[in-house]
């Protein structure tokens, strides 16, 4: 097996897993495909995501669903003006 075949196989496996995770999240988060794609892309390339918006848009639901889909731990921190780093 050549290196290009190996890379192609890895890319196909990644694409398959990515699609499965995206579909699993899509069962809960409906109609926000661009946001889900962006969050997954940032996660898989090791980047950071800042989700901003008014209450009720599903930001926490998206992250909680992503954590469940990838079997990760999830905890939520409510930020307040007097929150200190030692409080976390």
What is the average pLDDT score of the chain?
Answer: 91
Q: Domain residue spans in the chain?
A: 3-78
* Band of residue 45 on the pLDDT scale cut at 50, 70, 90: very high
Q: What is the model's pLDDT at position 7?
A: 92
pLDDT in tens, 28-39: 999 999 999 999
- CB-based contacts of 41: which residues, under 8 Å, 6+ apart? 47
In 10 A of CB 85, how many CB atoms?
Answer: 5
Question: Distance between CA atoms of 34 and 28, rounded to whole angstroms?
Answer: 15
pTM across the whole model: 0.79
- pLDDT for position 2: 82
Give me the DSSP letters along 10-64. Answer: HHHHHHHHHHHHHHHHHTTS-S-HHHHHHHHHHHHTT--------TTSSHHHHHH
Q: Is the pLDDT of residue 1 over 80?
A: no
């Amino acid at each position: 097996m050549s290196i290009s075949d190996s890379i192609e196989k890895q890319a196909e496996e990644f694409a398959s897993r990515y699609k499965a995770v995206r579909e699993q999240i899509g069962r809960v988060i409906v109609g926000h495909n661009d946001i889900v794609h962006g969050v997954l892309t940032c996660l898989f390339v090791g980047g950071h995501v800042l989700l901003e918006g008014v209450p009720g848009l599903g930001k926490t639901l998206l992250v909680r669903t992503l954590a469940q889909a990838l079997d990760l731990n999830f905890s939520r921190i409510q930020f307040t003006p007097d929150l200190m780093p030692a409080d976390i």
